[in-house]
Structure 1
Amino acid sequence: MAQYFSIHAENPQTRLIQQAVQLLQQGGVIACPTDSSYALVCSMAFKDAQTRIRRLRGVDDNHPFTLLCRDLAEISTYAKVNNSQFRLLKAMTPGAYTFLLEASREVPRRLQHPKRSTIGLRVPRHIVTQTLLEALNTPLLSMTLQLPGQEVPMSIGWEIRETLEHQLDAVIDSDIVHVGATTVLDLTQDPPELVRAGVAPWPLLLA
């Protein structure tokens, strides 16, 4: 049965964050709030955890994960970023944007786009998510928590626990949760392309 962590949205309890980190370090799968609804997250190190997330979502091996990163420096570790891309990233992070970039050697091949060698990355604007990333000290693999047959992602902690309590290791509940998907921008294109319109607006600097 999934553990249930009620974590303050502005002052996350260190003890609960550490318990969530321990589960992730042991290969656990957690439902975590972000600035664009809930996400299923796991450590990059555990392929079994990634398989569990794909199974929960009802998607195949071609459905991409997104790397949740703490900041621009971490994005630059896991993606190849040129000067113009860096300026855009600096202007739009943190926020509910996912950026498609060429993956660096730090990203396992199984997580890259099979033909383009790209990876989606984002820096969430959510204190609980950021605190979890800081404590873990490495990016998290994530996928929007939208189950098969659902039209919108899940956004209420207790409902997630009731629905998935036997399939998750933990649910992090928080007072501040948004509903909707991220806005996806392909920065490998010049000019950048809007891949998916989400909760974040189309940036004026790209208009």
Structure 2
Amino acid sequence: MSKLIRIYEENPDLRKVDQAVEILRKGGLIIYPTDTVYGLGCDITKVKALEKVARIKQVKLDKANFSFICYDLSNLSEYIRQIDTATYKILKRALPGPYTFILKGNNNLPKAFKNKKTVGIRVPDNNIIRTIVKELGNPIVSTSIHDEDDVIEYTTDPELIFEKWRDKVDLVIDGGYGGNIASTIIDLSDNEISIVREGKGSLDIL
């Protein structure tokens, strides 16, 4: 039975956060707010859950470009190769914020991502999802939930999201109305900066 729970960003209720963490640890799927659009995610170490997310997105897991939501920069360094000072400064300026950074992955990537050379990293400026990731102890894999209606593109109302997704996920977190502009994706995996997608977030950080 899927659940819809309300969590307030200013002061996330830890009992409710723990409910989300428990679901993730058991291999469940959750929908949660970020500083951009609502996202769909699971624990990056649970292969069956990752396969479910890939099926929902109609992609093969080894071909999927999911990003990781991390709590902070130190959390992120577990999964990426050593970065140079210039890259670190950009990350420090931009995060937490509405950006996805593509960086070179290292050997600590979970089994499902072992053959990936790069990984997309997010540290959203949203207390709810960052608290969940912090309590979980490792990142969650994340992908945005598109709406079939091309005009809308992203559903922003958590109750409507719950109506539509309740059969596919274990929990929808109502963190208030979401945004409808996705994150800006910046590739820093080579020595050059490449803008993959312009979304929310100023490019002045570069």
Give the TM-score of the pair, scaled to structure 1.
0.91
Q: Over aligned residue pairs, what C-alpha RMSD do you find? A: 1.7
| Percent identity for Structure 1 against Structure 2 | 30
Cα pair 2:158 2:177 within 8 Å, conserved: no
Matched, 1:172 2:173: yes
> Displacement of 1:49 after TM fit?
0.9
Post-superposition Cα deviations, 1:111-150, rounded to whole Å, max 9, x if no partner, equal 2674xx0000011100111111121121111111115564
Quote the residue 1:191 is aligned against. 192
SS at match of 1:184: strand
- Change beyond 3 A, Cα 1:158–1:86: same
Runs of 4+ in structure 1 off by over 4 angstroms are 147-151
- Change beyond 3 A, Cα 1:113–1:120: farther
Unaligned 5+ runs, structure 1: none
Which deviates the most, 24-33 or 154-163?
Answer: 154-163
Quote the residue 1:91 is aligned against. 93
Quote the residue 1:159 is aligned against. 160
Post-superposition Cα deviations, 1:142-169, rounded to whole Å, max 9, x if no partner, equal 1111155645223221111101111110
Unaligned 5+ runs, structure 2: none
Distance 1:102 1:176 in 2: 33
Quote the residue 1:103 is aligned against. 105
Matched, 1:66 2:67: yes
Give the TM-score of the pair, scaled to structure 2.
0.91
Quote the residue 2:2 is aligned against. 2
- Change beyond 3 A, Cα 1:149–1:59: farther
The number of aligned residues is 203
1:24 is aligned with what amino acid? L
